[in-house]
């Protein structure tokens, strides 16, 4: 996946047994490293690392999607 500076994504990271999700905005791309901003902190992510699982364009997911973890559906 090619990342674009200024674009927002949902990322999935962790292990096969335990995964976490985050909403990020890409600030800079250098090789496999992304400098990102999120609601809680700014960080560097190595997308070639096994800990990184996937990324999806944030605008592709509706707010009530089960894959948009910060906006879970109301039950």
* Residue 74: per-residue pLDDT: 45
Dihedrals φ, ψ of 18, to 5°?
A: -140, 120
Q: What is the DSSP letter of 2?
A: -
What band does 75 get if pLDDT is binned at 50, 70 and 90?
Answer: very low
Structural domain spans, the chain: 7-57
Separation CA 20–CA 7 (nearest Å): 20
Name the token pair of 29.
């791309």
Burial of 1 (0-12, 13-18, 19+ CB in 10 A): exposed
Residue of higher predicted confidence among 45 and 70: 45
Percent of the chain residues past pLDDT 70, beyond the cut:
77
What is the per-residue pLDDT across 15-50, written as a single tens digit (0 to 9) for each? 989 998 888 999 999 999 999 998 888 999 999 999
């Amino acid at each position: 996946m090619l990342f674009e500076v200024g674009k927002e994504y949902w990322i999935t990271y962790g292990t096969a047994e335990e995964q976490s999700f985050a909403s990020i905005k890409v600030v800079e791309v250098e090789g496999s490293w992304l400098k990102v901003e999120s609601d809680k902190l700014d960080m560097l992510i190595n997308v070639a690392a096994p800990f990184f699982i996937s990324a999806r364009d944030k605008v592709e997911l509706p707010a009530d999607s089960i894959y948009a973890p910060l906006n879970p559906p109301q039950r």
